[in-house]
């Protein structure tokens, strides 16, 4: 076993074993996409009321393409790499606290990729509009990603690579928007290129 694999395993076991039955339900709720729907509604409403309709439409479309990109890469990578989830790994499943047992592959984390992609994309435009609480959006991917470790369904490297894919995708779509459509300036008006 390589040093990275050993660290991956040891960090996962440490974080997973921090769990207790008192917190299990909390993390089972946190890991669901549906739990975060109110956050999505807030973000959509925020941009809808702060931006012109055309700008809002472009941001919404690119946000959806951003998520589609990371999920497409994730759905391609899982059968390509065929990395067993920790809960399905015979060497680990007896050592883990198992609360859920997905049967698909582990690499890379779609939860980490999609939440980081959305959060970074959203934060960038929150920041452009001087929304002083914009950094709070990063609480979501932090909790979302940690829930996957708590539940033992991803290795830390799955989370890290997923987050990296999310960052790259968000940066790509931000660059494309700024290059081909507009840049949202601090006066809340888009600048056509």
The pLDDT tens digits for 150-163 are: 999 999 999 999 99
Domain that holds residue 184: 3-192
Average pLDDT over residues 23-30: 96
* pLDDT given for residue 190 in this prediction: 47
* pLDDT given for residue 183 in this prediction: 64
With CA atoms as reference, report the closest residue to 173 among 129, 120, 111, 113: 120
With CA atoms as reference, report the closest residue to 182 among 170, 193, 173: 193
Average pLDDT over residues 178-191: 62
Using pLDDT thresholds of 50, 70 and 90, give the confidence band for residue 185: low
Cβ–Cβ under 8 Å, residues 48 and 128: no
Using pLDDT thresholds of 50, 70 and 90, give the confidence band for residue 182: confident
Q: Is 123 exposed, middle or buried (0-12, 13-18, 19+ CB in 10 A)?
A: middle
* pLDDT given for residue 184 in this prediction: 56
Strand intervals (E) in 2-151: none
Distance CA 172, CA 45 (A): 24
Query: Which DSSP symbol is given to 192?
Result: E
Tens digits of residue pLDDT in 99-146: 998 989 999 999 999 999 999 999 999 988 888 899 999 999 999 999
Reduce the DSSP state of residue 18 to 3 states and report it.
coil
Query: pLDDT higher for 192 or 171?
Result: 171
Q: How many domains does the chain have?
A: 1
pTM: 0.88
Cβ–Cβ under 8 Å, residues 63 and 174: no
């Amino acid at each position: 076993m390589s040093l990275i694999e050993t660290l991956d395993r040891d960090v996962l076991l440490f974080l997973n074993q921090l769990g207790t039955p008192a917190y299990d339900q909390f993390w089972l709720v946190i890991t669901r996409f549906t739990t975060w729907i109110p956050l999505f509604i807030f973000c959509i409403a925020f941009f809808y009321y702060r931006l012109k309709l055309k700008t809002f439409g472009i941001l919404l479309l690119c946000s959806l393409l951003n998520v589609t990109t990371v999920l497409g890469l994730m759905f391609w990578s899982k059968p390509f790499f065929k990395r067993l989830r920790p809960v399905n790994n015979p060497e680990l499943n007896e050592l883990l606290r198992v609360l859920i047992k997905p049967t698909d592959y582990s690499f890379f984390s779609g939860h980490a990729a999609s939440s980081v992609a959305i959060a970074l994309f959203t934060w960038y435009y929150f920041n452009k509009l001087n929304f002083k609480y914009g950094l709070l959006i990063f609480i979501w991917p932090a909790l979302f990603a940690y829930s996957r470790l708590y539940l033992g369904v991803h290795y830390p490297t799955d989370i890290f690579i997923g987050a990296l894919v999310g960052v790259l995708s968000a940066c790509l779509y931000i660059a494309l928007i700024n290059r081909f459509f507009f840049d949202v300036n601090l006066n809340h008006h888009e600048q056509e290129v």
